[in-house]
Amino acid sequence: MVTTRRRNATSEVTAAKNTNIEDELSELAAESSPTTSNFIFKGVSYNSYEEMVKAKRMFNNEMLKKSGLLEASASFRENASGVTMKKVQASQRGLRVDRKRKDPTVPLSRRKSSRIAGVQADGMYIEDERSGGRIVIGAAGSSSALIPSEKVYFDDEKDKFYNNRVNDGSDLTIQDAVELVGHKWMKNTSVKNAEHCFETLSKLRDEISPTGSKEKASCSLVNQVDRMSVDNEKCVAKVVPDRIHSVAFHPSEHKLIAVTGDKKGYLGFWEVDALPTENDSETDGVTLFKPHAGAINSLEWNKSGSKLLSLSYDGTVRLFDINRQVFTEAFAAYDNSDEFKSKLGYGMDEGSKFYTQYACYDHRNEECIFLSTSLGGTGHIDLRVGKMTFDLSLSNKKINSVSLHPNGHTLATAGLDCEVNLWDIRKFTGLQSGSKLKPFTTQISSRSINSAFFSPSGKNLLTTTMANTLDIISDAHLQNGLIKNPNQRIKHHNQTGRWLSTFMAQWHPTATNEELFVVGSMSKPRRMEFFDGSTGEMIKGLDGECLTAVASRCCFHPSTRNLIALGGNSSGRLTIAR
């Protein structure tokens, strides 16, 4: 596309003959002697390079004027300064780097180039290098005894853990998890702040009734959508340093606490309405931890708000346990080396391109977890007995989401194989991991599927696809065979590209009388979109002064009384809509 456009542009330039500029150019050339020069532009020689460049510039400028591009660009800028397109600075609330603080760690010495120094290379080369990770050294066909003929791995520091994880899998205390954020984000008050955050959370634990709030909403949730806004500057804060991969709300109705996980494994807590006190005046209610070494792609609170599940690409699932005040490791994938034989995730890491992709609580019993991997594996972990109930290969491509129907036995998986598959997990127990299985129902898309979730009522299955659709299938769990057409197909631009997390449309987690969902959007001005899942209609595209970037990952607060939504963007900022 780009290359053809460029080609057209140049051909226009060369085709434009018989212009005044040509005459001017020849005048300019006449001043210079034509015979001895090497500086030639459009068949005319110039005395010096500078003169030729001058001529070239004149020609280009003239062409630009003639093309009308200058006017077009000027009028575009005028429009851009208007209301709709104005560039807004991102919110500075929340995490900030203190540039005055000095990094106490000694910087690594610069590597020197042997080639430039004129030194004979030793045949070793660096095949793959990741900051802080393993370095793979390959030897380019050398047979010298000093140089290994095979690839060798060596770690640049001694105490590295499997897959560069934060530790060996033992519990992380509050202090551990805070200190892991590193110097850049660490403050003198960080540990104290984190302890305060824990304290707040443990107080909330006692206030949550396990059955949820009994109070009825003043009006239906769908009607509340219209009242929502994102105009107050206090509805945005930077909560994690990097791109957001997951968002969740603590279930408390008394205090609004949002959590989010980013690309690097940071986990941020935000007490949204925290009053500026002595402790947190600098943090705007934000507390940062780093319990993982890779992107935190799933985050979910249990119903009582005592445990936060987090899954990371580093191959681990952790539980932030408020009662025990630690981050415990609930699951970790390992390769098939003997030393890991006793581990729950033994042999799951098949090496290249393996990572854990998605995890969620099993709502029949929150001591159990569903898990999916980049290689198409799907598992069910029973934490009570420390066993995998099943561990099956349900696809040969990555599985992006797993969702259990409220009936307790229909499982929907969706991913890169462009399929949404429904399985009866009652048939899974006891099966060997190599078993060949067939889903009882499949929906096939032309592109891969970002997510497929059952609504809390179980009535609808909502899928977000790279074919730019949001599909709603009613009573999918009752169907058999191939689902040809969804009941609703909403056109929705889902090409988030490489730098934004993919969209995953999310249901309101507790509303069973209304089918309400939220999804991020690429439209400008930036907005969060709310849909009625029973009609497939967009209720509202919520934009506002504080929504300056695409909210790729969104979710609702579980409260059925007050409708509150949360969006996370690619710079670690959270936006609250209420």
Partner DNA sequence: CTGGTTATTAAGGCG
Partner DNA sequence: CGCCTTCCATAACCAG
Q: Give min distance, CB of 83 to DNA, in A.
A: 16
Query: What mask, x for binding DNA by CB under 7 A, covers residues 63 to 102?
Result: ------------------------x--x------------
Q: Give min distance, CB of 262 to DNA, in A.
A: 9
The 3-state DSSP class for residue 570 equals: coil
Q: Give min distance, CB of 375 to DNA, in A.
A: 12
What's the DSSP call for residue 132?
T
Instruction: Compare residues 181 and 204 and give the one whose CB is closer to DNA.
Output: 181
Q: Does residue 450 touch DNA according to CB under 7 A?
A: yes
Q: Does residue 436 touch DNA according to CB under 7 A?
A: no
Query: What mask, x for binding DNA by CB under 7 A, covers residues 322 to 361?
Result: ---------------------------------x------
Q: What is the 3-state secondary structure (H, E, C) of 345-402?
A: ECCCCCCCCCCEEEEEECCCCCCEEEEEECCCEEEEEECCCCEEEEEEECCCCCEEEE
Q: What is the arrangement of strands in the sheet containing 469-474, beginning at the earlier edge strand? A: 449-454, 460-465, 469-474, 488-491
Instruction: Compare residues 54 and 96 and give the one whose CB is closer to DNA.
Output: 96
Among 318, 553, 557, 573, binds DNA (CB under 7 A): 573
Q: Does residue 15 touch DNA according to CB under 7 A?
A: no
Q: Give min distance, CB of 207 to DNA, in A.
A: 35
Q: Does residue 443 touch DNA according to CB under 7 A?
A: no
Among 165, 318, 492, 526, binds DNA (CB under 7 A): 526
Among 447, 489, 540, 578, binds DNA (CB under 7 A): 447
Q: Give min distance, CB of 102 to DNA, in A.
A: 14
Spatial neighbors of 218 by CB under 8 A, at least 6 apart, are 561
Q: Give min distance, CB of 152 to DNA, in A.
A: 19
Spatial neighbors of 335 by CB under 8 A, at least 6 apart, are 347, 349, 350, 351
Among 246, 378, 395, 548, binds DNA (CB under 7 A): 548
Among 93, 165, 243, 292, binds DNA (CB under 7 A): 243
Q: What is the arrangement of strands in the sheet containing 124-129, beginning at the earlier edge strand? A: 124-129, 135-139, 152-154
Residue pair 429/411 in contact by the 8 Å Cβ criterion: no
Buried b (16+ CB within 10 A) or exposed e, 529-545: bbbbbbebebbbebbbe
CA distance 326 to 369: 19
Q: Does residue 135 touch DNA according to CB under 7 A?
A: no
DSSP string, 447-507: S-EEEEEE-TTSSEEEEEETTTEEEEEETGGG--EEE-S-SEEEE------SSSPPP--EE
Q: Does residue 2 touch DNA according to CB under 7 A?
A: yes
Among 291, 294, 439, 533, binds DNA (CB under 7 A): 294
Instruction: Compare residues 174 and 295 and give the one whose CB is closer to DNA.
Output: 295
Among 93, 196, 263, 557, binds DNA (CB under 7 A): 263
Q: Does residue 527 touch DNA according to CB under 7 A?
A: no
Q: Give min distance, CB of 89 to DNA, in A.
A: 7
Site for DNA in 456-485 (CB under 7 A): 466
Spatial neighbors of 136 by CB under 8 A, at least 6 apart, are 126, 127, 128, 129, 151, 152, 153
Q: Does residue 578 touch DNA according to CB under 7 A?
A: no
Q: Does residue 400 touch DNA according to CB under 7 A?
A: yes
CA distance to 111, 397, 572, per residue, from 551 (Å): 40, 27, 10
CA distance 14 to 65: 15
Site for DNA in 489-518 (CB under 7 A): 495-500, 502
Q: Does residue 401 touch DNA according to CB under 7 A?
A: no
Spatial neighbors of 306 by CB under 8 A, at least 6 apart, are 205, 321, 322, 323
Site for DNA in 172-231 (CB under 7 A): none
CA distance 141 to 149: 7
CA distance 59 to 369: 68
Binding-site ranges for DNA (CB under 7 A): 1-2, 87, 90, 163, 242-243, 263, 294-295, 313, 355, 398, 400, 416, 418, 447-448, 450, 466, 495-500, 502, 522, 526, 548-550, 569-571, 573
